[in-house]
Amino acid sequence: MNIIVDKSLVNSFDIENLNLETILFQSGYLTIKRLIQDEMGTLYELGFPNMEVQISFHKYILQSMTIGSEHVKIRCELLALLMSGDVASLEPVIKRLFASIAYK
């Protein structure tokens, strides 16, 4: 995951107006990987600091999306696709996940 942001996001401390990227950066899940200079100023490329944090983040997201034993197979498939970077193959697995959710 590489996210390009400007200085306002990295230096944001407005508790009333936090977005997900700011929270992930300030909590250490994302770190500055590269500075990008352009005519508008400095941009920052954010990414996971290491593989352990990336795996932990993916597992947390997948577990929150796939609660219940019937989703274990889908969770494993999603994790494998995320780790391999095979974004194109995510769509059918995510569709299966949503199709398996019981509507009440």
Reported as a single tens digit per residue, the pLDDT across 65-96 is: 666 655 677 778 877 887 887 767 877 877 77
Give domain status of residue 25, yes or no: yes
Q: Which domain holds residue 14?
A: 3-47
Question: 79: which residues sit within 8 A by CB, 6+ positions away?
Answer: 58, 59, 62
pLDDT above 80: residue 53: yes
- Tally of domains within the chain: 2
Q: Which of 91, 93, 66, 83 is nearest to 1 (CA)?
A: 83
pTM check: above 0.85: no
Reported as a single tens digit per residue, the pLDDT across 8-43 is: 776 666 667 767 787 788 888 889 999 999 887 888
Burial code (b: 16+ CB inside 10 Å, e: under 16) for 76-91 equals ebbbebbeeeeeeeee
Same domain, yes or no, for 55 and 91?
Answer: yes
**CA separation for the pair 9, 21 (Å, rounded):** 8
pLDDT above 80: residue 61: no
